[in-house]
């Protein structure tokens, strides 16, 4: 039997949902920046928060990598022959 005061060894699979209120101009700038880096606004916010935590020495050691988004990479394209 496990003690309920123990912390679980496995991290939960679901990601934490957070409501964030931003100034519209800040959101627009963030969305443009995210688009430039081919990320969603949500992924850009997480990227920036993780970077800030790491720089401050506050990123937990057990934090996993950012989840990869989008399609998995396909096979390499065949070389293009010149006529």
**If 0-12 CB within 10 Å is exposed, 13-18 middle and 19+ buried, where does residue 31 land?**
middle
| pTM of the full structure | 0.64
pLDDT exceeds cutoff 90 at 22 = yes
Q: Which of 74, 72, 68 is nearest to 39 (CA)?
A: 68
Span 40-70, pLDDT tens digits: 999 999 999 999 999 999 999 998 888 776 6
- Distance CA(83)–CA(70), nearest Å, equals 35
For 15, the token pair is: 């990601």
Sign of the alpha-carbon torsion through 33, 28, 35, 21 = positive
């Amino acid at each position: 039997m496990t003690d309920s005061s123990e912390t679980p060894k496995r991290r939960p699979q679901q990601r934490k949902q957070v409501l964030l209120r931003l100034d519209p101009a800040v959101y627009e700038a963030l969305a443009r920046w995210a688009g430039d880096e081919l990320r969603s606004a949500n992924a850009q916010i997480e990227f920036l928060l993780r970077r800030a935590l790491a720089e401050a020495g506050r990123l937990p050691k057990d934090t996993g990598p950012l989840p990869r988004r989008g399609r998995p990479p396909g096979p390499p394209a065949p070389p293009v022959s010149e006529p």
